[in-house]
Amino acid sequence: MFARFSCIAVIALLASGCANTSPTLGSKNISYGDTKAVETVTNEFGSTDLQMIAESMTRSLAQSGILQGRPVVQVYDVKNKTSEYIDTREITTSIKTQLMKTGVARFASDNTAMQSQVDQLKLQNQSGLYKKSTVAKTGNMIAAKYRIEGSISSIVKRSSDYKDVFYKFSLQLIDVESGLAEWMDEKEIRKTTER
C-alpha cells in the first residue's frame, strides 16, 4: 500500500513539475495587451480606428436590410486618400470578415484575388495534371450582384500647440447591373494631440 501511494505521489510531483517548465524568451519590457483596448500612442491612424470603422460599417450595412437572401458581393480595396501610409487592405479584410460572420452575404473573389482564381482554374483545366472527376469546371463562377467600394481621407491641422487629425471613412454598396448605389455610410474620427 505504501509503495502504491509513493508511486502515485512521485507521478503527481513529476506531472506538476512538468506543467510550468516552458521558458519565456525575449525582453522583460514586452507584454501582451488587450487587442480591444483604446490605442492612443499617436494621433496617426491606428488599430482602434480600424476596429471602429469595421464595426460601424458592418453593423450599418447588416442592419440596412439591403442584403436579403445572402447575395454575392465583390469587395474592392479601400482607397487611401490621406497623406499617411495606411494599410487599407486590412480595413477591407476586417469589413469583409465581419460581414461574413454575420451571414448576410457571400463573397466573390475580390479584385486583387481574381487573378489567382483564374490561374487556379487554368491550372486544373489545361495542365493535364489533375484527375478529370476532381477538376473545377470553368464557366461556373458566381457573378457578384453588388460591389463594395470605400475610401479614407484626412484633414490635418497644426499649430504650435496642437495637431488635429480628422479622418473620414466612406463606404458604399453598388448594384453591379444597374450601377445604382443601394447603401452608403460614413464614419468620422478626430484625434487631437497637445504638444
Q: Which residue has the higher pLDDT, 74 or 9?
A: 74
What DSSP designation does 134 have?
Answer: G
Computed over every residue of the chain, the mean pLDDT equals: 82
Q: How confident is the model at residue 153 (pLDDT cuts 50, 70, 90)?
A: very high
Closest residue by Cα to residue 171 from 107, 75, 84, 73: 75
Q: Is 163 helix (H, G, I), strand (E, B) or coil?
A: strand
What's the pLDDT at 36?
A: 62
Q: How far is CA 140 from CA 63, 79, 119, 136, 183, in A?
A: 31, 30, 15, 9, 28
CA-CA-CA-CA torsion sign (42, 37, 167, 149) = positive
Tens digit of each residue's pLDDT (9 = 90 or more) over 177-189 = 999 999 999 999 8
Distance CA 14, CA 12 (A): 5
Tens digit of each residue's pLDDT (9 = 90 or more) over 2-44 = 555 555 555 555 555 555 555 666 666 766 665 666 655 566 7
Assess whether pLDDT exceeds 80 at residue 169: yes
Mean pLDDT calculated for residue range 62-83? 92
Q: Is 162 helix (H, G, I), strand (E, B) or coil?
A: strand
